[in-house]
Amino acid sequence: MAPMNSRERVLTALDHREPDRPPRDLGSTTATGIHPTAYQALKEHLGLEGGWTYLSARAQLARVESALMERFKIDCLPLISQTAAEPPVLDEQRSYVDRWGVERRLPSVGGHYYVTRPPLASAGRMSELHAYTWPEPRTNFALLREQAAHLRATTDKALILNLEVGFLHQAQFVRGFDRWLMDLAADPPFAEALMDAILEIWLAEAEATIRAVGDCADVVVYADDIAFQDRPIFSMAMYRKLIRPRQRRVFDLMRRSGMKVFYHSCGNVRPLLADLVEMGVDILNPVQVSAEGMGNTAALKEQWGDELIFWGGIDTQAVLPRGSTGDVCQEVMRRLNDLAPGGGYVVAPVHDVQPEVPPANLCAMFDATGEWEEHAAG
């Protein structure tokens, strides 16, 4: 097979055809990224000088530089609003309030921002929800358009458009996760009104983003967790009544763009795969293999490989942070053997690489990918 460039390689895999080698990703999305502490340690391990810049300050992710992309043969580049890279001004408690009114705090050592004050946690009446000051949708993405056009003209990488954090997550942030779950069960009208208020803002921003850069990008990303480690967050009846109709609006917008639809949800999403496929999801991420029902990647490929592209799958919960380089190699070989044949797979870590991942293990992940490729090529 003739060598492909990165974009050809990714598009071939996304078309459920086998490329010259499986595409690789590190840092093209806020769900396949790397924490700045881990990134700096990786650079030092490889003897690369200099510091780092943010891809996303809220998610605490570093932008992967070209030298590392070449070292690991990464095939994808991120498109993300420049405001995501702007670090907030913190108070003496290392906290700030975002545009939704959510107070967030950054731990003093490692980690990422966590919610310390959901602004609607004490709201008990619909009138309080209606009276809340919601942010205006962002609609000016001229700078992102300029960046996207430049990258399309000057690189052969696949371009991955990251939309804002999903409406389910945002509902959890403004209400508090526990209160939001109780609302879904005990006060569905309130839960629906909250989700709808956020969803309208989200859809307006997403539509403006897609209109600005959709003709330059290959994949569009929506991230919104719908599962725990062992099971979906919702019963199937609750999901199909309260969540799925709203997600359908999201996926309909994404599908109209012509880009491949990339959906991220951690946890055991297997019971929900039929619903996601029916709504038009093309790409499943992160394929959390440590979650219940997700570890048998050969079975996932057999059952869903004709409908879904798998993006991720290299365990970040146990193997990458605590395994040996040999363990990492075994993990990579297993996932590639299960998921790569016939196309439809992009090699990436399960979610973001955190500070506890040794640099040698991240190198071993991509080195083992290369070894698998050499063996597959004969």
| Tally of CB atoms within 10 A around 249 | 16
pLDDT per residue over 176-185, tens digit each? 999 999 999 9
pLDDT tens digits, 84-116: 778 888 888 899 999 999 999 998 876 788 999
User: For residue range 151-175, what is the model confidence (pLDDT) as tens digits?
Assistant: 999 999 999 999 999 999 999 999 9
Helix (H) or strand (E) holding 285: strand 283-285
- Give tens-digit pLDDT for 294-316: 999 999 999 999 999 999 999 99
Residue from 311, 316, 326, 325 nearest 357 by CA: 316
Cα separation, 368 vs 213, in Å, equals 35
Model pLDDT, residue 104: 95
Please state the rounded mean pLDDT for residues 215-238. Answer: 97
How does DSSP assign 345-369, residue by residue?
EEEEESSPBPTTS-HHHHHHHHHHH
pLDDT greater than 90 at residue 28: yes
Confidence at residue 304, expressed as pLDDT on a 0 to 100 scale: 98
Predicted confidence at residue 107, as pLDDT, reads: 85
What is the per-residue pLDDT across 30-87, written as a single tens digit (0 to 9) for each?
999 999 999 999 999 999 999 999 999 989 999 999 999 999 999 999 999 877 778 8
CB atoms within 10 A of CB 273: 17
What pLDDT shows up at residue 356? 95
Residue 208 sits at φ, ψ, to 5 deg, of -65, -40
Architecture of domain 6-88+123-376: Alpha-Beta Barrel (3.20)
Average pLDDT, the chain: 96
State the Cα–Cα distance between residues 196 and 204, nearest whole angstrom.
Answer: 12
Angle in degrees, CA 377, 75, 86, rounded to 5: 160
pLDDT score recorded for residue 82: 76
Put the strands of the sheet holding 95-97 in their side by side order: 95-97, 103-105, 114-117
Reported as type and span, the H/E element at residue 103 is strand 103-105
Average pLDDT over residues 269-289: 98
pLDDT digit string, tens, across residues 130-147: 999 999 999 999 999 999
pLDDT, tens digit, 9 for 90 and up, residues 183-202: 999 999 999 999 999 999 99
pTM for this entry: 0.97
